[in-house]
Structure 1
């Protein structure tokens, strides 16, 4: 959309009589989107590393419990809570993500928290 720069809405917005709004986060060419993607990758890599470390260092009963939680459709927060309870902090470094993690119930963090809510 071009309303911010030219003062007139783009052809698509004018055709459908919509307000012309530029979504910087949706534009993959911008630095903002690149930074968001980098933060998402950092969070998800930490999450996977945390899970792998728990699987490597836990006994079979603990691993079965972790897998049951994952298979139940638990959110990232619920899985992280199980990982935190399952293993001593000295053995498993539990990262906090980019910021504090609050999920939206769909197993993906919302845009207002860590990695800006890209779908899994």
Structure 2
């Protein structure tokens, strides 16, 4: 996968995730999701990393936004991002195995398998 393709995937997914986070905030501004740093304005953080060609850190923050929030994000996209993390050798704390060990997995955002 080319760098531009990776950049576009991260950017597109970040936009989708940020919309879901904003919708959640509109419905439930007191949701515990918003006690997490870098969630409500996470797209700004990811954009900054992408601007500086820090694709791995941008992906890491995107995975954080998905797994540390109470949103429901498309599972196929989650799997695609986890596969990208493997490709980029990103230390991914949100693998299915780690999520099960921690007991913090949102079933709707659990990548399953060995991702």
Q: TM-score range by the shorter chain?
A: 0.3 to 0.5
Higher helix share: 2
When normalised by structure 2's length, the TM-score is 0.39
Q: Which has the larger radius of gyration?
A: 1
When normalised by structure 1's length, the TM-score is 0.37
